[in-house]
Amino acid sequence: MTISMEATASLDQGPPDDAVDLLAMMLRIRMFEDKVMDLFSQNLVRGSTHLCQGQEAVTVGVCSTLRPVDTMTCTYRGHGAVIAKGAALDACFGELLGRVGGLCRGKGGSMHFADFSVGAIGSNAIVGAHLPITVGAALASSYVGDDRVAVSFFGDGATNIGAFHEALNLAAIWKLPAVFVIENNQYGEYSPLRATTPIDRLARRADSYGIPGVLVDGNDVAAVRSVAQSAVQRARAGDGPTLIEADTYRQVGHSRSDPATYRPAGELDRWLAKDPILLLEQSMLARWSEADLDAVRQAAQHDVDVALETALAMPEPPLDELAKDVWA
């Protein structure tokens, strides 16, 4: 097994210089998802929704290394990834609420967030289906000769899907500028990894395609960013794709209808002690005061609250919008 490109930075070595920005983004995502839980309980969210509390360090760490012109695809648990890539909070809320000011004019809903203006080219409700889209984006960059990088976030369950293997194989033989990020949150829907997959470290699957496989603590935002920087630089230089496995945990059920009673006793508490926001805040106390951190929390909460108020004031799409952007 070859696992290379280990993190050169970690919260164990102290907080990064831009820790405030990283914390603010992680808090906005966490608070956004908490608000979504409230909205869902009020029957204001159209359809189901899949939340990412506990996984914020993965998307924030990776997206902090990207430019707006770099592309990103993600799963139906993708609110955090799209926000981390730069999408406006009010437009994200608007999409969930089915409002005309939403990211997709209220027609995509929770599982189809997209904002091309920041390079978020689509969440996908089909497991693994967005990986070939990332290959297409990377191929386009290679074809036109720019240095854009295509990133894809997906869960551990997607590594058992045919599209995963096809995407990595093509990206490897064409040396495409792509970074594939496994958000290993320990469960594929309701099944633990050990029940569905014959290996314990998914980064080993990179060996099959002759590309680097990297394992990183997905709750350490500095470590995630460190390995992502190496992978993105490698892709921009024309050296091909990288597979990153970020170990993390979803603190809620698979979807809002899932109470997650299948989790062993004590497992959630062990992961809550490693909450990525908690770890970053503890690291920051070496250089910032608790009052400083509280100010960041309050500012993030204000941003989320104002964004929700804005979204709630958005109108619903008029009837003549129903057939627009719909192909048959």
- Average the pLDDT over 151-165 and give the result: 96
The alpha carbon dihedral of 152, 156, 161, 167 has a sign of positive
**269-287: per-residue pLDDT in tens?**
898 999 999 999 999 999 9
Phi, psi of 116 (to 5 degrees): -65, -25
As a whole number, the mean pLDDT across the chain is 93
Beta strand 187-188 with 178-184: parallel, antiparallel or unpaired? unpaired
Q: Residue 197: its pLDDT value, please?
A: 82
Domains of the chain: 11-310 (3.40.50.970)
**112-123: per-residue pLDDT in tens?**
999 999 999 999
CB count in 10 Å sphere of residue 46: 16
| Neighbouring-strand partners of residue 179 | 151, 242
pLDDT at 1 over 50: no
Q: Which residues contact 318 (CB under 8 A, 6 or more apart)?
A: 100
Asked whether the beta carbons of 71 and 86 are under 8 A apart, the reply is no
Q: Residue 327: its pLDDT value, please?
A: 76
Residue with tokens 């990088």: 149
Burial class (CB in 10 A: 0-12, 13-18, 19+), 15: buried
| Neighbouring-strand partners of residue 155 | 183
**197-243: per-residue pLDDT in tens?**
888 899 999 999 999 999 999 999 999 999 999 999 999 999 999 99
Burial annotation 246-255 (CB, 10 A radius, 16+ → b, else e): bbbbbbbbbb
Q: Identify the weakest region by mean pLDDT among 63-67, 193-197, 240-244.
A: 193-197
Asked whether the beta carbons of 29 and 79 are under 8 A apart, the reply is yes
- Average the pLDDT over 5-33 and give the result: 92
| Neighbouring-strand partners of residue 257 | none
CB count in 10 Å sphere of residue 106: 21
- Average the pLDDT over 297-318 and give the result: 97
Higher-confidence residue: 268 or 149? 149
Beta strand 191-192 with 187-188: parallel, antiparallel or unpaired? antiparallel
